[in-house]
């Protein structure tokens, strides 16, 4: 029986939100940060604020429960 790798509607919404966030917040500054050899503190802070660090943490502990 073949495995269905199609995203659920919730997974697709999350994927689209993450992509939009990265295109808006990270992509515009990544080349400059690389050139300057700087740590992207602002981008990391924004990732935390948006909850992306909670992806693998179970919901009962305040995470997203996606890991």
Which two three-digit tokens encode residue 52? Answer: 């992306």
Helix (H, G, I), strand (E, B) or coil at 35: helix
Name 47's Cβ contacts closer than 8 Å, sequence gap at least 6. Answer: 21, 53
Per-residue pLDDT of the chain (67 residues; tens, 9 = 90+): 899 999 999 899 999 999 999 999 999 998 998 899 988 898 899 999 998 998 889 999 988 888 7
């Amino acid at each position: 029986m073949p495995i269905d790798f199609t995203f659920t509607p919730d997974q697709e919404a999350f994927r689209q939100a993450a992509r939009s966030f990265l295109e808006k917040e990270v992509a515009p500054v990544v080349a400059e940060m690389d050139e300057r050899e700087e740590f992207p503190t602002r981008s990391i802070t924004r990732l935390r604020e948006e909850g992306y660090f909670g992806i693998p943490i179970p919901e009962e502990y305040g995470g997203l429960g996606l890991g």
